[in-house]
Amino acid sequence: MSKKILFISDTHGDNTVYKEIIDCEKADLVVHAGDYHDFHFSSPHTIVELDARVDHSILGNHGLGIKKFSKSSSLPSNEELMEEYIGDHKIIKFDYLTILLTHIFDFSPRSMNGNIGNVEAFRTLWNEKWNKIIEENEVNLIVQGHTHVSEIKKYNGIDCINPGSVTMPKYPNETGTYIIGTLDNNHISFEVKNVKHK
Q: What is the pLDDT of residue 180?
A: 98
**How do residues 28-67 score in pLDDT, each as one tens digit?**
999 999 988 876 544 556 667 788 899 999 988 877 776 7
Q: Which residues pair with 192 in a beta bridge?
A: 179
Q: Give dist(CA 152, CA 80) in Å, integer.
A: 29
Q: Strands, DSSP E only, in the chain?
A: 3-8, 29-32, 56-57, 89-94, 97-102, 141-143, 151-155, 158-162, 177-183, 188-194
Query: Is the pLDDT assigned to residue 9 strictly greater than 90?
Result: yes
Contact between 148 and 107 under an 8 Å Cβ cutoff? The reply is no
**How do residues 169-195 score in pLDDT, each as one tens digit?**
998 888 999 999 999 999 999 999 998
Q: What is the pLDDT of residue 42?
A: 47
Share of the chain above pLDDT 70, in %: 89
Q: Give dist(CA 71, CA 39) in Å, integer.
A: 12
Cis amide leading into 163 (omega within 30): no
Contact between 13 and 62 under an 8 Å Cβ cutoff? The reply is no
**How do residues 90-112 score in pLDDT, each as one tens digit?**
999 999 999 999 999 999 888 78
